[in-house]
Amino acid sequence: MTERKRNLLALAGLLAVLLIYFAKILFTHQIIRAPDITNEFYWTVRHFKDMGFFDLFRTHLQAGWDMYANSGGTEGGGTLSLQFLYYRNLLFWLIPAPANVAWFIVFHLFVGGAGTYCYCRLIGCSRTAAFLGGLLFAIVPENASLINAGHAQKIATISFAPWAFYFLEKGFICRRVIWFLTAGFVLAFQFFNMHWQIAFYTCIGIGVYGVGRSVGILIAERQRSPGQVGRLVGLNLVTMFFFLSTVAISLIPLADWSKDTTRGVQSGANQGQGGLNLEEAMSWSMPPEELVTFVVPGMFGFSRQEGGYNTGDIDAYYWGRMVFTQTIDYMGLLPWLLLPLPLIFRRDRYTWLALAGVVGGILFSMGKYTPFYWFLFEHFPGVNHFRVPKMMMFIPALGLGVLAARGLDILRDGGVRGTRAFQRYMVAVLALPALLLVMVAVEMVGRDFWLSRFMDAFAQPTRYEQGPQLVMNRWNNLVRETAIAAVVAALHAAVLFGLARKWFSMRVVLPALFLLFLADTGRVNAKFMLLQDLPPSLRGTKTPVMEYLARDSKAYRVLPMNGRDPMHYASNGIPVMFTSNPVMVQRWQDFLDGFTFDSAMLDLLNVKYLIYDKAQYEKEKDKLGGRFTPVFTSPDGVEVVVENRTVLPKAWLVPAVLVTNEPRQQLGLLRSPLFDPRRLALVESQPSLPLADPMASGSGNVGEVTVGTYEANRITLTCQVTRNSLLVMGEKYYKGWRARVDGKPAEIQRVDYILRGVYLAPGTHTVEFTFDPLPFKVGKYLTLASFAFFAFMVAREWRNRRKVNGER
């Protein structure tokens, strides 16, 4: 059997282990219980089941405006690169829903594990050791517990990281441009999976690796010359610039869009300097005391309560100092026991690089608790745009996988096991369970002292629990988890001690260590693999209320007030005012934060219908007043549709404007019940036409507006204008829109803080709005050019290899 076939067989074995390990979430009719999946991710993939086979491979490279969700919006076309992930489309099409979400996740965990396996093999690890490294990356709770958070895209993005390091290392070994290009190409496809923070952190890791590897080469080869230094610098730059050009279809639009978002360069207390304010950016920094969870996983509880109790085997939910956490830092005990071996017996460049990944990644993840992260936040571009330093922990997981693989190879070396250094190592291994048992004793004997000393932390209430019972649940869980950690450490120590004393052979020890690792991580991961029946809203069925609302189709928006998911309406072609998104355009967030029902803010956005539960409406109808009238009740009497009688049409003409570029003043006026958007509009620059005096704008007819075409990327209007006025649309302002009046370009004004409009003189006018953002077009052509160049280079490489093989 050839070496390639052996490696493929090992990867097939890895896949088989993962299918068994994650069988609970794979072979089921249920969906993973996580709000990020049921509220966001599943909505974006459920349509694949209704597509034809060939439709899965079609691409539409035109930036789009979403007219249904969140009162309209876009990220400038930056997510259209998802269309290049054809395997993703095929997976969601082939595998029955909703389990296909879990298959998507496990597939990517396998991809990440396979990349780690290949990297370990590339640097000289045995097949068995590389298998352990790949398995570790795929199932360590630090990565796998992301399932509980519903972070499917995060897992997908993480899975490409090992492959980027693999191709970069192959480039350094071969010193050939094709491998550096491939590393850049992989980084781009990682970015296309849309978790930009993970992609950014991977790029940081790749940059550190490239610099460290280059310096190591220059030191090792000693015969340095300007040409050699220049070549190494050039090869690193090839990776960087090819990544940037390949990812341009996403990166350029997203960079342009992000400037105006809640995490953009003008947001928060850090306004004008770039990024988030300090408090938000430092959120989810891993507290230093939680380093103990690398050995005692449940020291600070597990997961967190989302919409109720998660599972019966969680005795205490997370109660540490982070804002909250849905994941866990644990990576299994075995890799930490193997980590010292390469540090003792194989201190070469790969050991130091992997150790740098582990230590540097952990320091980064600790965020505000380390000067290391503070320095990067203040001086390294981009770091201050993200708020979860702990998200860097996938890099330590990769580094630990490499070190564990190298450690296993050292453990298999009989000569090493006979050395005095190994004996000292074994003393430390045996000391660990003893120390944990001492820790258990200290906890039990000193219970009252520890509880009184840290009562504030133990007594922090959750959404569902508080009081003395909560304190004791947490304390008992802490003691129990420490005891379990002691047992796990003792089992590992017994196996390794038996090997050292030659009681067990490697044929016994290797399976025992693998089984212990699977059992150890499996116990923890089981607490994070939660399922639920598919919510009715995700089944795509239209309710009677939706049938009623569909009559107005796209002309007006609705606002569910009964807690039901707005995406249920949006996915059925009913525009909604608001949907939850982790990143908002700052002005839209300001508008939402200042929203009031007794103002014209609903009218501005064409919100014609509110949806209430019947009992809820009966309680609140007096507060709503005569402006809102019930117009439909569902046949079961549960839901009521309430009509906003003062709603504005899709577009209207305003005779006067008030110029103000002070955000607080604008929002204050919009919030006022006295503000009438039919008579007055708020603008931020002097009008190009003379308009009526705002104080005398209440009289006289301005004209009429008729909507011709109302599509996602194109809107046409016919305006009969009797005097100079401002045409206002109940649509958000965004710089990617272009306007033409009677075929001639017109400048779009920002109106009423978030809307858009154009000035019109008296007469009959045809106004056309089209969405055609320049950043997306520039990025698209750069990416397509990079694809073509890479295809050429791959074809060239293939031809050269065939030529060499033919000469042989």
d(CA 442, CA 778): 64
User: Quick one: what percent of the chain has pLDDT higher than 70?
Assistant: 96
Q: Is residue 74 part of a domain?
A: no
Q: Is residue 78 part of a domain?
A: no
pTM of the model: 0.91
d(CA 636, CA 640): 10
Same-domain status, 660 and 758: yes
**Among the listed ranges 40-44, 418-422, 664-668, which one has the minimum average pLDDT value?**
40-44
Q: What pLDDT, in 10s, does the model give residues 712-755? A: 999 999 999 999 999 999 999 999 999 999 999 999 999 999 99
**What value does the mean pLDDT take over residues 76-94?**
93
Q: What pLDDT, in 10s, does the model give residues 49-78? A: 889 999 999 988 999 999 999 999 999 999
Greater model confidence, 789 or 318: 789
pLDDT above 70 (res 808): no
d(CA 211, CA 229): 11
d(CA 465, CA 123): 51
Helix (H) or strand (E) holding 447: helix 447-453
What per-residue confidence (pLDDT) applies to 267?
46
User: Quick one: what percent of the chain has pLDDT higher than 90?
Assistant: 72
pLDDT bin (cut points 50, 70, 90) of residue 100 is very high
Same-domain status, 182 and 170: yes
Same-domain status, 486 and 616: no
Closest CA to 192 of 151, 152, 149, 248: 248
- Looking at 603, 622, 644, which one is the last position of a domain? 644
Report how many domains make up the chain: 4
d(CA 530, CA 22): 11
d(CA 404, CA 340): 9
Same-domain status, 315 and 345: yes
Residue type, 785: A
Instruction: Return all residues near 462 (Cβ < 8 A) that are at least 6 apart.
Output: 305, 317, 319, 470
Question: Beta strand 607-613 with 557-560: parallel, antiparallel or unpaired?
Answer: parallel
pLDDT above 50 (res 272): no
Same-domain status, 440 and 526: yes
Q: Is residue 396 part of a domain?
A: yes
Closest CA to 22 of 152, 123, 109: 109
Q: What pLDDT, in 10s, does the model give residues 617-642? A: 999 888 888 899 999 999 999 999 99
Same-domain status, 805 and 712: no
What per-residue confidence (pLDDT) applies to 271?
46
**What value does the mean pLDDT take over residues 266-281?**
60
pLDDT bin (cut points 50, 70, 90) of residue 259 is confident
Greater model confidence, 266 or 696: 696
Range of the domain at 304: 3-59+85-531
d(CA 426, CA 423): 5
CA dist 108 to 131, 159, 237, Å? 16, 6, 28
Same-domain status, 736 and 628: no
d(CA 306, CA 301): 14
pLDDT above 60 (res 697): no
Query: b or e along 683-698 (b: 16 or more beta carbons within 10 Å of the residue's beta carbon)?
Result: beeebeeebbeeeebe
Same-domain status, 240 and 154: yes
Q: Is residue 432 part of a domain?
A: yes
**What value does the mean pLDDT take over residues 756-782?**
96
- Looking at 506, 531, 556, which one is the last position of a domain? 531
Whether the Cβ atoms of residue 411 and residue 497 lie closer than 8 Å to each other? no
Same-domain status, 338 and 218: yes
What per-residue confidence (pLDDT) applies to 582?
77
Q: What share of the chain is helix, strand, coil (3-state, %, to 5)?
A: 55, 10, 30
d(CA 151, CA 157): 10
Longest dimension (CA), the chain: 100
Q: How does the average pLDDT of the chain come out, rounded?
A: 91
Q: What pLDDT, in 10s, does the model give residues 215-248? A: 998 888 776 677 788 889 999 999 999 999 999 9
pLDDT bin (cut points 50, 70, 90) of residue 311 is low
pLDDT bin (cut points 50, 70, 90) of residue 593 is very high
Sheet holding 755-760, edge to edge: 651-654, 725-732, 755-760, 749-751, 680-683, 656-659
Same-domain status, 295 and 209: yes
d(CA 593, CA 602): 13
Q: Is residue 28 part of a domain?
A: yes
**What value does the mean pLDDT take over residues 506-521?**
96
pLDDT above 80 (res 266): no
pLDDT above 60 (res 480): yes
Same-domain status, 586 and 454: no
d(CA 179, CA 122): 13
Q: Is residue 226 part of a domain?
A: yes
DSSP state for residue 791 in the 8-state scheme? H
Same-domain status, 43 and 144: yes
Q: What pLDDT, in 10s, does the model give residues 350-383? A: 999 999 999 999 999 999 999 989 999 888 888 8
Most confident of 432-436, 548-552, 612-616: 432-436
Q: What pLDDT, in 10s, does the model give residues 662-672? A: 988 999 999 99
Tokens of 800: 């050269």
**What value does the mean pLDDT take over residues 101-114?**
97
d(CA 721, CA 700): 12
Q: Is residue 79 part of a domain?
A: no
- Looking at 588, 622, 644, which one is the last position of a domain? 644
Q: Is residue 372 part of a domain?
A: yes
